[in-house]
Amino acid sequence: MLDQTRLPGEVVHVTLPGWPDVVDAIRTMVVRGAPAIGVAGAMGVALAARNAAATSATRQAFDAEMGRAIAELRDARPTAVNLAWAVDRLAGIVADHEGTPAEIADELDASARAIHSDEVDRCMAIGRHSLPLFSRGARILTHCNAGALATGGYGTALGVVRAAYAADPGVSVIVDETRPLLQGSRLTAWELEQEGIPYTLITDNMAAMLMSEGRVTHVVVGADRIAANGDVVNKIGTYGVAVLAREHGIPVIVAAPTSTLDLSMPSAAEIPVEERDPDEVRDLALFGRAASPAGAPVANPAFDRTPARLVAAIVTEQGVHRAPYERSLRQAWDAAAHDPPG
Per CB under 6 A, the list member of 45, 140, 150, 329 interacting with ligand MRU is 150
Which residue of this chain has its Cβ atom nearest to ligand MRU in the complex? 222
Per CB under 6 A, the list member of 235, 282, 305, 321 interacting with ligand MRU is 235
Q: Under 8 Å CB-to-CB from 47, ≥6 apart: which residues? A: 16, 18, 19, 22
Q: Which stretch binds ligand MRU (CB under 6 A): 95-103, 205-213, 222-230, 284-292?
A: 222-230
Interatomic CA distance for residues 123 and 222, integer angstroms: 11
Which residues are identified as catalytic? 224
Indicate whether 80 belongs to the interface with ligand MRU (CB under 6 A).
yes
**Residues comprising the chain, all counted:** 342
Interatomic CA distance for residues 318 and 122, integer angstroms: 8
Q: Which string of x and - marks every residue 103-142 that binds ligand MRU (by CB under 6 A)?
A: ----------------------------------------
Indicate whether 224 belongs to the interface with ligand MRU (CB under 6 A).
yes
For residue 235, give the nearest of 305, 315, 307, 339 by alpha carbon.
Answer: 305
Q: Which stretch binds ligand MRU (CB under 6 A): 32-40, 196-204, 207-215, 316-324?
A: 32-40
DSSP 97-117: --S-HHHHHHHHHHHHHHHHH
Provide, rounded to whole angstroms, the least separation between the CB of residue 165 and ligand MRU: 17
Indicate whether 151 belongs to the interface with ligand MRU (CB under 6 A).
yes
Interatomic CA distance for residues 150 and 152, integer angstroms: 6
Cβ distance 309 to 281 under 8 Å? no
- For ligand MRU, the closer of residues 101 and 237 by Cβ is 237
- Eight-state DSSP code of residue 257: -
Indicate whether 34 belongs to the interface with ligand MRU (CB under 6 A).
yes
Indicate whether 222 belongs to the interface with ligand MRU (CB under 6 A).
yes
Indicate whether 32 belongs to the interface with ligand MRU (CB under 6 A).
yes
Q: Under 8 Å CB-to-CB from 339, ≥6 apart: which residues? A: 318
Residues that bind ligand MRU in the complex, under the rule CB under 6 A:
32-35, 80, 144, 146, 150-151, 156, 183, 222-224, 234-235, 302
